Amino acid sequence: MSTKPKKKPTTATGDSLIYVGPTIEHGRLSQYTVLKNGIPVHVQDLVSGNADIAQLIVPVQYLTSTKQAVQKQGTPENAAYARLIKGV
């Protein structure tokens, strides 16, 4: 069996996740909101309806690397953040 590290999960149940995008929907999902035990029901429709939001919800241990990616021009995270800002 392979011992390669797994790709970072984005919606695993039981994990503490954090949203690294801008505050959206008049505070319905605020920047740096920690989501315990997966994505709650009241946020699932936002995530399922917008791939940019889903991309910016990461396990807490990836907060620093995702914040860096959001700030770096040309990364998928930066592009997702920019699209969300335009929609806010």
pTM: 0.80
User: What is the rounded CA–CA span in Å between residue 85 and residue 4?
Assistant: 35
State the pLDDT at residue 38: 87
Q: 78: number of CA atoms within 13 Å, CB side?
A: 7
Kindly report, residue by residue over 12-42, the tens digit of the pLDDT: 456 799 999 999 988 889 999 999 988 888 8
Of 61, 33, 60, nearest in space to 47 by CA: 33
Strand ranges inside the chain, DSSP E: 17-19, 34-35, 57-59
Joined tokens for residue 43: 């946020």
Q: 5: number of CA atoms within 13 Å, CB side?
A: 3
